[in-house]
Structure 1
């Protein structure tokens, strides 16, 4: 798998770049003082940060200075959505390990760091890689990220779960292609998709079933709902779903709303949503953020996010376990915490099973001839 070539960068950090970077609020006074301390220069506790930044920017800077400043200003990584596919073709864990070992050599040759762990028949690959964007300012050009690809044994099948982005998707495909090549077989891949379902109401029904149908969970609330209407001559869809209403106009000047975002409480039952659907049957749901509560156990509330990356075709299904609202003394707290790994694993499995089940049901319903 060939890593995209970057650079060389046409930028370098000038004195103005350094001054502007040190003046930002994300670089605190302690960091600026440490830059001077590393040069064995003492500064007064009463000296203003802007004065220190102005003085330091006129000095000669080395790689370590730039790395320390970039560490403060770099793009903060956030938890990415997860996508999954099922490999119905029977595989042995040794076949997967052999393919991973072969692709790993190429990844590490391109500068990535690859860690592989095995637990029985399950294999997890963590890829530490860098993305370079020269359109950003000098200290934000390099983004260091971790991508995860999991091979989870489930009966006679394997579930391949990975971070949803182009780079990690390509890494996953490199693993699977290597399995096919080394074993002279074609893998039977099954993904959650509504590509063949053209009726808008059925596409919305998929999300309705998903919201209410996680095993052992009850719907607690629906806080966000995104509806979409494709256009006949639609340009290529954006990677990110806009959080704002999007309106386009045709050559005659007529306006047309393509995307609408609804936020609040119980939005799936709101009058606004009914009004949208009643006025245009072309709208359908492409993303939802909702909460579910454990029917048994501690009764925690989990906030979930699911959507199709390609809204026009309803392909590229992905999801995220956003957070947990713990139940304490029988009451759900308002303070959200990050989910634990075991909670992410449990909710991920529930979403994957439910999404496959309901996608199959919707597809069968769309192909059933009306009597």
Structure 2
């Protein structure tokens, strides 16, 4: 009986762990506010530890615990984005029927809403819970949402989704339903570099991507990560290397390290990056700034990379923000991007990445690429 009650109630230790673990959100001022709501005043000299201990010993009802959890929970995290291109134009009616079939199969465990879009596409939002047992007991249930867009482009269907396992499973289930309805298999196009076997070609994918965005000119590269064929996906052998903190000791490590992260400006031209490429390393992710050619000449900070560093599969990307043009220069503070502009930037990244991949695959097949001068 005791074990059962432990699963439906919060002990004083559970509440204390909840309060003490959130240093940034559960400040001493917030803790004093919890206490003042009960008509109790504490000394301004009391520490966070003392306040947390005192609050945890007070009697708490369901709504009291719920209020603490709401205050403690971090805001929703913006996941990186990925996309899948279906080699067919799927009618909205088929997508809607497939989504409704998914809703019937999943039952009340998830909240699924859907609607047609003004541009002729279709939008799906899935709200669901996941458990993270690495967190304190009262925060293990995490609320997530996956916004999935179906976009019709040039006779094909582009599916844009968060780069999470859950969102990928939802899209796979919807695709299966559409295939059953159409009684035909729908081919997929993904940005993956498994067909590019040399480090030179894999790095060339990124260097072309950042310099060939239509309507933008490259300003600088802010951060990049590199890996080699010897890398193990499970190892944590990466480290930051700032250009201003270059040392001979760091250079000596190039021969033994399997993956690495560099940060700074204009990294593709840096001596460190050139040294890495000589040793068989290739880029696996990158962030850069590009300036819009037309007015306003805002500077957009992009990021792109692969989830699986060794296979270079699981392409994902994001928009970190924008530096607004202002009086002939740019503001120093990065700001968030409006939804309409974000969709436009995503579409540009997706089409450019797929075009460059196809170009490199053609070059590799013809045995004619610039960097190595050898057949792939």
- Note the C-alpha offset of 1:76: 3.7
Of 98, 119, 126, which residue of structure 1 is paired with 2:117? 119
Of 292, 306, 312, which residue of structure 2 is paired with 1:308? 306
**Structure 2 Cα separation of the partners of residues 191 and 8 of structure 1:** 49
**Structure 2 Cα separation of the partners of residues 129 and 221 of structure 1:** 39
- Aligned twin of 2:167: 168
Unaligned 5+ runs, structure 1:
1-6, 247-254
More displaced stretch, 112-121 vs 190-199 = 112-121
- Aligned twin of 2:285: 287
Does the 8 Å contact 2:85/2:156 carry over to 1?
yes
Report the CA distance shift for 1:260/1:53 in structure 2 as closer, same or farther (over 3 A): closer
Does the 8 Å contact 1:124/1:149 carry over to 2?
yes
Does the 8 Å contact 2:289/2:302 carry over to 1?
yes
SS in structure 1 of the partner of residue 258 of structure 2: strand
| TM-score (ref. length: structure 2) | 0.85
1:268 matched to 2:268: yes
**Structure 2 Cα separation of the partners of residues 294 and 9 of structure 1:** 57
Unaligned 5+ runs, structure 2:
242-254, 369-374
- Aligned twin of 2:277: 277
More displaced stretch, 336-345 vs 70-79 = 70-79
**Structure 2 Cα separation of the partners of residues 313 and 133 of structure 1:** 28
**Structure 2 Cα separation of the partners of residues 89 and 367 of structure 1:** 26
- Note the C-alpha offset of 1:45: 6.4
**Structure 2 Cα separation of the partners of residues 347 and 89 of structure 1:** 23
**Structure 2 Cα separation of the partners of residues 171 and 162 of structure 1:** 10
| TM-score (ref. length: structure 1) | 0.86
RMSD: 2.6
- Note the C-alpha offset of 1:144: 1.2
- Aligned twin of 2:16: 19
Report the CA distance shift for 1:199/1:108 in structure 2 as closer, same or farther (over 3 A): same
Report the CA distance shift for 1:57/1:81 in structure 2 as closer, same or farther (over 3 A): same
Report the CA distance shift for 1:90/1:56 in structure 2 as closer, same or farther (over 3 A): closer
**Structure 2 Cα separation of the partners of residues 291 and 302 of structure 1:** 6
- Note the C-alpha offset of 1:245: 6.5
- Aligned twin of 1:251: none
Task: Tell me the number of residue pairs that the alignment of Structure 1 and Structure 2 aligns.
Answer: 348
**Structure 2 Cα separation of the partners of residues 147 and 196 of structure 1:** 30
Does the 8 Å contact 2:291/2:297 carry over to 1?
yes
**Structure 2 Cα separation of the partners of residues 88 and 161 of structure 1:** 15
Of 278, 295, 298, which residue of structure 2 is paired with 1:297? 295
Of 353, 357, 364, which residue of structure 1 is paired with 2:355? 357
More displaced stretch, 29-38 vs 348-357 = 29-38
Does the 8 Å contact 1:212/1:218 carry over to 2?
yes
Report the CA distance shift for 1:333/1:242 in structure 2 as closer, same or farther (over 3 A): farther
- Note the C-alpha offset of 1:201: 0.2
- Note the C-alpha offset of 1:85: 1.2
Structure number having the greater helix percentage: 2
Of 41, 46, 50, which residue of structure 2 is paired with 1:44? 41
- Note the C-alpha offset of 1:243: 5.3
